[in-house]
Amino acid sequence: MALKAAEVFSSIQGEGLYAGARQVFLRLSGCNLKCRYCDTPETREAPSVVMVESKPAGGDFYEIANPIAVEMMADILIKIYGRRKLHHSLSITGGEPLLQVDALLKLLPPLREKGVRIYLETNGTLPEAMRRLAPVTDIVAMDIKLETAAGVKVPHEVQRRFIEEARGTDLFLKMVVTAGTDRVEFMDTVQWLAKFAADIPLILQPVTPFGDIRGWLPPHMLITYIDAASEVLESVRAIPQMHKLLGQL
C-alpha cells in the first residue's frame, strides 16, 4: 500500500489551538475541495517526487518517488520525529488526508506504538473516514468552512456527523474569516454549532493576505466575530497563521 504525498519536514505548527508546537509535518496530496483562500493548491495533484527533509528543521531536502510505500514512509517519519521530547506530535496535513484513510490506517498504528502523537488537519467533509481513523488519532483540527469565505459549500449535516465521529479525540474547530464573510452565515453557523458542540473550542483564523486577498481583516471586525461566537460557545479565540508571520511557508 502506498501514500500520495508532497513533503515531510519538521517545523512549528502555525494554526489553531496548538500554534507554536514543534511538529513533524506529513503533507499528503489530493483534496476534494477547492477553497478560495487555499495556500497549498499545489497539493491537489500528486507531484512525481516527495520532498523529504534530511534532518529536523535543517532545510535540506532529498527526493523520493511518489507514491511512496507506507513502510518506507513510516521509517522516514520515525527518523525525523526523533526523540519524543523534540516534537510535540506528527501533523498529518494536506490536501485532505482522509482521502487516503486506508493507507493511514496502516501507517499510523505502528507510529503510535512508538510514542508518536498523531495530529490530523482535515477539512471535515469525510465523516465515515473520520470514524475509521479516530481510534488511531490523538488530536483533530477540523475546518468549519463558511461558503462566503471559502467559496465552497459543506452541508451542516456532513459537518455534524464529522464532529460526532471525531469527538473521542482532542478535537477543536477552526473557521477562517475574511473581509467577504457574511455575518448572517457566520451567526447561523455558530448558533447551529451551539446546539450540539458548544463545548468544543472554536478558533477563528483571520485570513492571511496573499494573492487577491490584499489586507488583514480589520481588528474591530474580528472582535465582533469573537464576541458574537462567545455568546453561544464556551471557548472562542482568534489566532492568525503564525507560521506566515514567522516567515515560514
Q: Which residues touch 58 (CB under 8 Å, ≥6 apart)?
A: none
Interaction between residue 191 and ligand SF4 (CB under 6 A)? no
Asked whether 2 and 238 are in contact (CB, 8 A), the reply is no
Smallest distance, ligand SF4 to C-beta of residue 215, A: 20
Smallest distance, ligand SF4 to C-beta of residue 95, A: 5
Smallest distance, ligand SF4 to C-beta of residue 96, A: 6
Interaction between residue 34 and ligand SF4 (CB under 6 A)? yes
The Cα–Cα gap between 19 and 170 comes to: 15
* Integer angstrom CA distances of residue 24 from 10, 21, 91, 163, 202: 4, 10, 6, 25, 24
Smallest distance, ligand SF4 to C-beta of residue 25, A: 13
User: Is the CB of 33 or the CB of 103 nearer to ligand SF4?
Assistant: 33
The Cα–Cα gap between 30 and 198 comes to: 31
CA angle 244, 41, 88 (to 5 degrees): 50
Segment contacting ligand SF4 by CB under 6 A, of 35-43, 66-74, 79-87, 178-186: 35-43
Interaction between residue 178 and ligand SF4 (CB under 6 A)? no
The binder of ligand SF4 chosen from 8, 33, 77, 203 (CB under 6 A): 33
Cell of 245: 508571520
Smallest distance, ligand SF4 to C-beta of residue 114, A: 28
Interaction between residue 127 and ligand SF4 (CB under 6 A)? no
The binder of ligand SF4 chosen from 7, 15, 53, 96 (CB under 6 A): 96
Lay out the site mask for ligand SF4 across 207-246 (x = CB under 6 A, - = otherwise).
----------------------------------------
Interaction between residue 95 and ligand SF4 (CB under 6 A)? yes
Q: Which of 16, 5, 126 is nearest to 61 (CA)?
A: 5
Cα 105 off chain centre by: 18
Smallest distance, ligand SF4 to C-beta of residue 69, A: 24
The Cα–Cα gap between 165 and 150 comes to: 23
User: Is the CB of 93 or the CB of 169 nearer to ligand SF4?
Assistant: 93
Smallest distance, ligand SF4 to C-beta of residue 216, A: 18
User: Is the CB of 41 or the CB of 218 nearer to ligand SF4?
Assistant: 41
**Helix/strand/coil (H, E, C) string of 94-136?**
CCCHHHHHHHHHHHHHHHHHCCCCEEEEECCCCHHHHHHHHHH
Question: 3-class DSSP state for residue 209?
Answer: coil
Residues of the shown chain interacting with ligand SF4 in the complex, contacts defined by CB under 6 A: 31, 33-35, 38, 40, 94-96, 123
